[in-house]
Amino acid sequence: MLQHGLKGVIAAETAISYIDGEKGHLVYRGLEAKDIALNYSFEEAAYFIWNGSLPSQTEVELLSEKLKKYRVLPEHMEKMLHLLPTDMEIMSVLRTLISSLGNSHFQWKPTVEEAIQLTAIIPTIIAYWHRRKAGKSPVAPHENYDHVANYLYMLTGETPSNVHVKTLETYMILTLEHGMNASTFSARVTISTESDMISAITSAIGTMKGPLHGGAPSDVTKMLNGIGRKENAESWLREKLENGERLMGFGHRVYKTKDPRALALKEKALEVGQDDPWLALALYVEETAIQLLEEYKPGRKLYTNVEFFAAAVMRSIHLEDDLFTPTFTASRIVGWTAHVLEQAERNVIFRPESQYIGQLPTLS
């Protein structure tokens, strides 16, 4: 039976993550993602996603050293960054530079070492390009900083606060994996042809680039900027709903109750920005929007999703709007690579069929 967009079609088995949209659970390899985000480091979470077990201290240290080694840009990448036009958007830059890694070292079958290399280098590409567009010199990776702290350091050139690091780390752990989403599916389809890890991740980045997948936090920021002040919230939101427009940051294709990632990010946002007027506006808009959504769309179960509080958190730690989707990519690379590795272990090429709806010649 035809299912447009493959909605509801099971295309693979996975042990990486489980989503219960009705009850609001996101599980990474048997553990609640929220618990991992609030209690473990990015390095520990990435190791867990790739290997299926929590690492020992020695294993964490080894992974950390590998991430530090691979975060330094190869010479050809630095040259490419200076040759690309400055009006090229950052996701296209990421897609181009990651593709340039596709040399003889990356072949079938993909490896965890390749996953580590890609995870390490993506934040460096983002930071270098962001600073170049701003007319600033790049900041080289810091050999003593962990993965998330180093990302913030390369973006700003300043020592990041522990609060900002932990806030961003919480976001990145909560978004590093989310089942068979569009970009993960792209990666699995590509690797199913026995292509290489670079090709699979290039496919995933191209998919993440689309606004229906990776751009929602920026739209939330635009919405909050448009509202401006608490007293404008109800009239602004009512006008959008009466015009049949979406409220960005509310509702999810999977979750029919509160998004567990949003709950964890809200908890962290309250911790980092107790006196932040932007956060106060976001919390007020959230409360008002949920009330109005129930009034205008009763029974639809439209709750705050992760993108809403991602926007609040990103703003509170001073990340600019054009870094939202790239930062999402810097976390989701862990999930993509885990799925690539899983697909390769029991590989069957994806080959769905289509239903022809065009004209036919006269057939005898």
Instruction: Specify the 3-state DSSP secondary structure of 308.
Output: helix
292-303 pLDDT per residue, tens: 988 888 877 778
Phi, psi (rounded to 5 degrees) for 235: -65, -40
Residue 25 annotated to the active site: no
Choose, from 252, 286, 339, 342, the residue flagged as catalytic. 252
Residue 282 predicted with pLDDT over 90: no
Choose, from 114, 169, 286, 307, the residue flagged as catalytic. 307
DSSP state of 276: -
* Signed CA dihedral, 102, 104, 110, 116: sign only: negative
**Percentage above 70 pLDDT, the chain:** 94
**Percentage above 90 pLDDT, the chain:** 56
Alpha-carbon distance of 155 to 144, in angstroms, equals: 16
Alpha-carbon distance of 128 to 145, in angstroms, equals: 17
The full set of domains in the chain, from first to last, is 14-162+176-210+322-345 (1.10.580.10), 218-316 (1.10.230.10)
Alpha-carbon distance of 341 to 207, in angstroms, equals: 19
127-144 pLDDT per residue, tens: 999 999 999 999 999 999
Residue 253 predicted with pLDDT over 80: no
Give pTM, 2 decimals. Answer: 0.89
Tokens at 198, concatenated:
């670079």
**What is the model's pLDDT at position 262?**
80
321-332 pLDDT per residue, tens: 889 899 999 999
Tokens at 22, concatenated:
């009705």
**What is the model's pLDDT at position 327?**
94
Residue 307 annotated to the active site: yes
Residue 281 predicted with pLDDT over 60: yes
Chain centre to alpha carbon of residue 113:
21
**What is the model's pLDDT at position 273?**
60
How many helices, marked H, and strands, marked E, lie in the chain?
17, 3
What's the mean pLDDT in 263-280?
74
Confidence of residue 189 (pLDDT cuts 50, 70, 90): very high
